[in-house]
Amino acid sequence: MTASSDRRPAVAGTFYPEHPEELRAELRQHLADAARFEVGEPAPKALIVPHAGYVYSGPVAASAFARLRRLQGRVQRVVLLGPSHHVRVRGLAVPTHRAFLTPLGPVPIDRDAVASALALPQVCALDAAHAQEHSLEVQLPFLQQVLGEFQLVPFSVGDASPEQVAEVLDLLWGGPETLIVISSDLSHYHDYETARRLDAATTRAIEALRPADLHYESACGRVPVSGLLVSAKARGLHVHTLDLRSSGDTAGPRDRVVGYGAYAVA
Q: Is there a contact between 82 and 51 (Cβ–Cβ < 8 Å)?
A: yes
- Return the pLDDT at 39: 53
pLDDT 10s digits, 95-137: 999 999 999 999 999 999 999 999 999 999 999 999 999 999 9
In a domain, 51, yes or no: yes
pLDDT 10s digits, 173-221: 999 999 999 999 999 999 999 999 999 999 999 999 999 999 989 999 9
pLDDT 10s digits, 18-53: 999 999 999 999 999 997 655 567 789 999 999 999
- Return the pLDDT at 52: 97
Q: Is there a contact between 15 and 134 (Cβ–Cβ < 8 Å)?
A: yes
pLDDT 10s digits, 127-168: 999 999 999 999 999 999 999 999 999 999 999 999 999 999
Cα–Cα distance for residue pair 25/127, rounded to 1 Å: 31
Domain limits for position 99: 20-265
Strands 257-265, 239-246: parallel, antiparallel or unpaired by DSSP?
A: antiparallel
Q: How large a percentage of the chain has pLDDT more than 70?
A: 97
The helix/strand/coil state of 53 is coil
CATH of the domain at 242: 3.40.830.10
Cα–Cα distance for residue pair 221/82, rounded to 1 Å: 6
Residue 204 dihedral angles phi and psi, to the nearest 5°: -60, -40
Number of structural domains in the chain: 1
- Return the pLDDT at 42: 79
